[in-house]
A and B are shown apart, each in its own frame.
Chain A
């Protein structure tokens, strides 16, 4: 009998897992269940439609459900899996029992709900799936004041979007600066200034106390510094892994609260794989488990899980986590450890810093780029870095992540080759200059 593969989840991880499973084992029946109405769109574009940089939501769709039918995948939308029976290898989806030989759990994440009074008021706003994003876009027309809770990547994108829309926007974050989990303060500073110039009010070192409202509707956000009036509060808190179903069958969780998987993305149970933001994977340099990475990580993990579920043999590599984004008018990014994060873990390091330029000094549009690299004392082996500037940040973050994966040293970067072409790159590559400066500190 043909292998029966079931996938729970139609996000980046679930869809790529299903496609890869079908490609690996074309004979298999592959069923995908998602509780949402849509698949194959980019959630990452939602903040930019809300901010009116992209004219409409239609453009965020990459394919239609028919494409999956054509590929032989049984895609079931608006279908909630309520139960898994591991002993009999079945799951219950919209009340129907669906048998499986191999299960792939890609149930993703939810925002961590702040455990404070008023967290059920109307006006608490979540940006997750596109259909609700379309509805939110309409209601934003009547919003005058908004609070964004926490300055993670989604929070910073929403801050920019709401400010672009002319809404008085406040950020509330307990941390001392923006993107504090990954970025250093002097790297975050230009982004913060740019957001302030857009009109955002940044409240760092400030704790949420409660949501206040009347008649069930939010009217303000009470913080350790006082009450901020608000029509909505965008919750952009930590991505909490959605593990309800997996826990019910005893799948093992790791120290982040996400599913523990091996390098083949297999869970603690035979024939059950998992991928995406509901799993944890090791950070390359330390082996420490990390969770809630990015859509591109979810997609790659889904491919690995799908290939293995279909009978292939693929392994997922420990991660160096390249990241990057635009806040206000400034690009910011990096990979692995910054100085603040390395210090908190107690990792010894030396620093190499450089201020460089993105194009030839004389070329129109030339931008400053600040590079900060961290390396192991003595050996010079890279342990991370960060960038901020007007352009060329994503490419450097990707490059650095690859260099980290290959165990490159400051010396390797100090002597690297680079492109010099006036409209797109300067003679001196800022990364290389930072590495040269860092070598002096080894």
Chain B
């Protein structure tokens, strides 16, 4: 498949052809539906008929707002999430230069960015590994 001149050749060569990467909208025959009379076919037809009948009509439905604020986190979650954000952002700043990516938008906070991340990076992995398994590990599992 040809690509516009805006795609550098060294990247365009990784692009899939139509069949693999779903560019064949309408160009590929659809997979067959479930056999007529099957329970899958019936369930699908019922759901679609009901969904279409309700589309655009007011009223609450199951699962129409599947979003929630995180509950008040325990200390272990606060610690993990602050540390993780700071470390991943530092890593993104470092590796983003390879492709000219922008810097991540910093939201880890001063302590995590300026104190925790540099101190953590100075500790040898063998000690860090023990630290992370102690603070963010699981219990009751055999070792992988």
CB within 8 Å of B: which residues of A?
A: 35-38, 40-41, 48, 51-67, 78, 110-113, 115, 124, 126, 128-135, 138-139, 160, 164, 174-177, 180-181, 184-186, 189-190, 193-194, 196-197, 204-207, 224, 235, 237, 240, 242-244, 247, 253-257, 260-263, 266, 280-282, 284-289, 315, 317-318, 326, 328-331, 339-341, 343-348, 365, 367-370, 388-391, 405
CB within 8 Å of A: which residues of B?
A: 1, 3-4, 6-8, 11-17, 19-26, 30-31, 33-34, 38-45, 47-48, 50-52, 54-56, 61-71, 73-74, 76-77, 79-80, 84, 87-88, 90-96, 98-99, 101-105, 107, 120-121, 123, 125, 128-129, 132-133, 135-144
Q: How far is the CB of B7 from chain A (nearest CB, A)?
A: 5
Instruction: Name B20's contact: one of A160, A177, A204, A331 (CB within 8 Å).
Output: A331
Q: How far is the CB of A289 from chain B (nearest CB, A)?
A: 5
What are 12 A-B contacts with C-beta separation under 8 Å? A57-B47, A58-B45, A61-B34, A112-B69, A138-B52, A174-B107, A184-B98, A185-B98, A194-B7, A262-B141, A287-B137, A344-B90
**Within the assembled complex, what's the spacing in Å between the Cα atoms of A266 and B128?**
29
Which residue on chain A has the smallest CB distance to residue B127?
A346
Extra contacts, 7 of them, besides A64-B38, A197-B4 (Cβ < 8 A), are A57-B51, A65-B39, A181-B88, A207-B107, A261-B140, A281-B138, A330-B14
**Within the assembled complex, what's the spacing in Å between the Cα atoms of A61 and B34?**
8
Chain B residue numbers with a CB within 8 Å of A367 are 13-14, 16-17, 20
On whether the beta carbons of A132 and B88 are closer than 8 Å, the reply is no
On whether the beta carbons of A164 and B68 are closer than 8 Å, the reply is no
List 9 A-B pairs, minimum CB-CB distance, nearest first. Answer: A134-B51, A64-B39, A262-B140, A58-B44, A205-B102, A390-B16, A284-B144, A318-B144, A61-B44
Known contacts A317-B144, A343-B94, A126 near B40 by CB under 8 Å? no
On whether the beta carbons of A344 and B34 are closer than 8 Å, the reply is no
On whether the beta carbons of B30 and A177 are closer than 8 Å, the reply is no
Instruction: Name A61's contact: one of B40, B55, B139 (CB within 8 Å).
Output: B40
Instruction: Name A391's contact: one of B16, B76, B137, B144 (CB within 8 Å).
Output: B16
On whether the beta carbons of B67 and A345 are closer than 8 Å, the reply is no
On whether the beta carbons of A365 and B15 are closer than 8 Å, the reply is no
Known contacts A59-B33, A134-B51, A177 near B99 by CB under 8 Å? yes
Chain B residue numbers with a CB within 8 Å of A339 are 95
Instruction: Name B47's contact: one of A61, A128, A242 (CB within 8 Å).
Output: A61
Which residue on chain B has the smallest CB distance to residue A131?
B51
**Within the assembled complex, what's the spacing in Å between the Cα atoms of A35 and B61?**
10
**Within the assembled complex, what's the spacing in Å between the Cα atoms of A367 and B25?**
20
Q: How far is the CB of B38 from chain A (nearest CB, A)?
A: 8
Instruction: Name B66's contact: one of A110, A343, A344 (CB within 8 Å).
Output: A110
On whether the beta carbons of B47 and A37 are closer than 8 Å, the reply is yes
Chain B residue numbers with a CB within 8 Å of A329 are 1, 15-16, 20-23
**Within the assembled complex, what's the spacing in Å between the Cα atoms of A288 and B87?**
15
Chain B residue numbers with a CB within 8 Å of A388 are 14
